[in-house]
Chain A
Amino acid sequence: MSIRHAMLALLSEGPKYGLQLREEFEARTGEVWPLNVGQVYTTLQRLERDHLVESDDEADPGPQKSFRITAGGAEELAGWLHTPPDLASPPRDELIIKILVAVRLPGADVHEIIQTHRRHLVELMQQWTRLKDEEGDLDLGLALVVDAELYRLDSVVRWLDTADGRLKRAAAEPPAPAREAAPQIRRRAGARR
């Protein structure tokens, strides 16, 4: 979560005080990511140091100090919005690692372990869905966050379902005699380097 760029986005609407920035940040992220005052002022100081925001020099530091975005800040914000986050390399996902370990661990019931995680994920999804149901018309920011969480958790459940099926089939089938494809892919990938 880039607090720095969120602050720049809020300041692009006009000059604001630190406390105001905190309140508006929380409101627009559906209050899912709370911020403390210290984080807000540290971020603003760094933005000022990098000439991305300016403040009234005369005013004392603290609640009375008003900040505004600079031309450099606006440019930084536009660049950030268009820069894809790093999704190219797989994250070191704890759940994936647990399942990979369970597959190799003698005596571990991997299907039972998968079910434990599946149940937990579906329970979390029930909570997020209940939020949609009980809150009626959700604040737009929160509605977007809820959708994102439901899709994220759903993708993990789907992976568990797929893994469950793949492991079941692998246990039922005899091991494949020769594996030609994988080394070829590796060689080709190596050649590209």
Chain B
Amino acid sequence: MTPVLELTGVSKTYLDGADEVHALREVDLTVEPGRMVAVMGPSGSGKSTLLTIAGALETPTTGGVRVAGQPLTAMSRDDRARLRRRAIGYVFQDFNLLPGLTAAENVALPLELDGQPAGKARAAGLRALAELGLTDRASRFPDQLSGGERQRVAIARAVVGDRRLLLADEPTGALDSASGEAVMRLILAACKSGVGAVVVTHDAQLASWADRVVFIRDGRLIDHTAPRPGPESLLPGPATR
């Protein structure tokens, strides 16, 4: 199966005045379809840079990026923008919904920007909202929704159409624990339907929803979790009777 995301030897260096800042150093990361990978690290560790490079919003200084098998680094700017619109969905901490558009219009927007007829885009948007239990919120504006509902709309927008890769930056942000858990369950559900996801976070509870957690420090992936036995090993067997 073609990975939805492959980073190979990715480094990113910025110039801060005369100083070179190494935001990422020789990062290798592969995400298979249907899998959720969490990138866990403190602020300033490079995790957001990793996400913007994986999402084709920035180019690496060196190294290769493939999304759904296609090498971003070899593409023209236009092709890269098209792949970004069609294959990649983003979920941000502050939802990033457009305040002047309804929930349904926000979700349909990426499809319309990609040139789909408005009616078709709207129908796909409503389907995505329905899957997240938001049918009755479709014609509301973002300021008429709760924080949890706004983030569900943002997830609907991130998975609408034929997205292959879902990228989330602290997606449960300021939500309370029940709404945050609901958001993680939706991302997990998207993965179970075949999408690959990368969630960057400093929060271990959030990261623990992922199939694999990689740890980032000073721009390097320093460690990752091992595949674990199922949850049954947590529960002791029957006591000696």
Residues on A lying within 8 angstroms of B by beta carbon are 31-37, 111, 115, 118-119, 121-123, 125-131, 133-135, 150-151, 153-154, 157-158, 161, 164-165
- Say yes or no for B231: interface residue by CB 8 A criterion: yes
Contact count A vs B, C-beta below 8 Å: 79
How far is B239's CA from A33's CA once the two chains are assembled, in angstroms?
Answer: 9
Q: What are 29 residue pairs bridging A and B, where the CB atoms are less than 8 Å apart in the complex?
A: A32-B235, A36-B240, A37-B241, A111-B217, A115-B215, A119-B215, A119-B224, A122-B207, A123-B225, A125-B204, A126-B208, A126-B228, A127-B230, A127-B233, A127-B234, A128-B208, A130-B228, A130-B231, A131-B231, A131-B234, A133-B209, A134-B231, A135-B231, A154-B203, A154-B205, A157-B204, A161-B202, A164-B42, A165-B42
Q: A129-B208, A150-B208, A158-B204 are in contact. Are A122 and B241 (CB under 8 A)?
A: no
Q: Which residues on the B side are within 8 Å of A164 (C-beta)?
A: 42
- Chain B 198-241 interface residues, beta-carbon cutoff 8 Å to A: 202-205, 207-210, 213, 215, 217, 222-226, 228-231, 233-241
Is chain B's interface secondary structure helix, strand, loop, or mixed overall?
Answer: loop
Q: With A35-B239, A115-B223, A157-B204 as given contacts, are A122 and B234 in contact (CB-CB < 8 Å)?
A: no
- A128 with B235: CB separation less than 8 A: no
**Cα–Cα, bound, A164→B43 (Å):** 13
In the complex the two chains form, is A150's CB within 8 Å of B225's CB? no
Alpha-carbon distance between A111 and B42 when the two chains are bound, in angstroms = 14
Residues of A within 8 A of B230 (CB): 127, 130, 134
Closest A-B pairs by Cβ, 4 of them: A34-B239, A131-B231, A125-B208, A157-B204
B contacts, CB < 8 Å to A? 40, 42, 185, 188, 202-205, 207-210, 213, 215, 217, 222-226, 228-231, 233-241
Inter-chain CA distance A68–B238, complex, in Å, is 26
Q: How far is the CA of A118 from the CA of B42 in the complex (A)?
A: 13
A135 to nearest B CB, angstroms? 8
Q: What residues of chain A lie closer than 8 Å to B185, measured between beta carbons?
A: 133
- For A134, list chain B residues within 8 Å (CB): 230-231
The interface residues of chain B lying within 8 Å CB-to-CB of A127 are 228-231, 233-234
Docked complex Cα distance between A45 and B226 (Å): 47
**Among B210, B217, B236, B239, which residue has the most Cβ atoms of chain A within 10 A?**
B239
Q: Which residues of A contact B204 (CB under 8 A)?
A: 121-122, 125, 153-154, 157-158
B228 touches A128 (CB 8 A): no
Determine whether the beta carbon of A123 is less than 8 Å from that of B205.
no
- Residues in chain A near residue B210, CB distance under 8 A: 126
The answer to whether B202 and A34 have CB atoms under 8 Å apart is: no
Q: A37-B241, A165-B42 are in contact. Are A122 and B231 (CB under 8 A)?
A: no
Q: Is the CB of A126 within 8 A of B188?
A: no
Q: How far is the CB of B223 from chain A (nearest CB, A)?
A: 6
B72 to A: closest C-beta gap in Å: 30
Whether A126 lies near B213 (C-beta < 8 A) is yes
Q: Once bound together, how far apart are the Cα atoms of A34 and B223, in whole Å?
A: 35
